[in-house]
Amino acid sequence: MNKKDRVVFISNYLDKLYPKTPIPLSHSNKYELLIAVLLSAQCTDERVNQVTPILFSKANTPDAMINISVEEIYRIIRPCGLAPKKSKAIWDLSFILVEKYNSKVPESFEDLESLPGVGHKTASVIMSQGFGHPAFPIDTHIHRLAQRWGLTNGKNVLQTEKDLKLLFPKDSWNKLHLQIIYYGREYCTARGCKGNTCIICKTCYPNRKSFVNIK
C-alpha cells in the first residue's frame, strides 16, 4: 500500500470509527478552552477536566481571573503539574487579554502565540476548535501515529504538521486531528501497538514484523 492509498484508507476508517469528534477538554467559551489547553501540557485531559470546574467556578473570564491571586490559581491547578509556570502564565495572559484585547481571546496565530504559556500547538487548537479555522494541532499521539503510518519522517512535530497538511484536505484537518488522537488513545497506544497490532497499522503494513521506534 503506497502513501496515497494509506491516506485514503486512514481517512475513511477514522470517519467510520469516529463520525463525531467532541473536544475532549470541557469548556463553555473560548477563554475556558484556552486555559484548559494550556493546563493540558504534560497532563491528561481527564485530570484537566477534574481541575477546571473548580477553577472556572471562581473565574471563567480574564477579568475574573486577574481578581484572584497567582497563589490561589496555583493551589487549584497543582494536580495538573508544572503549576508554578502555568499559574503565572494563566494570570499574565488574562491580564494581557484585559489590557490589550478587550478581554477577548484573539483570533490569530500571531496574537495567540504572543501570550504567556501559549505555543503553536495551543494556538492551533484555539484557532481550529475555538474559531473554526483550518489548523492541524500536533500532540504526542498524532506525532507517534503519523510515524507508524508512514506519513512523515518524524524529525519533529513541526515537520509532522507540515507533512500531514500536504497529505490531507484542508477541510478535514479540524476533525481529523481529533480522530487521530482518539484512535491513538484507544487502539494505537504507545505501548499497546508499536506499529504492528492495531487495524490501521496492520492494514497499512501487513508484512511489518518489528516494532517501530518513535523519534
Is residue 121 part of the annotated active site? The answer reads: yes
Distance CA 89, CA 121 (A): 16
159's grid cell? 515537520
Is residue 92 part of the annotated active site? The answer reads: no
16's grid cell? 467510520
Distance CA 148, CA 32 (A): 33
From the candidates 86, 121, 163, 194, which is the catalytic residue? 121
Place of cell 519522517: 153
Distance CA 147, CA 176 (A): 16
From the candidates 15, 92, 111, 139, which is the catalytic residue? 139
Type of residue numbered 15: D
For the chain, how far is it from start to end, CA to CA, in angstroms?
Answer: 23
Q: Show which residues are catalytic.
A: 121, 139
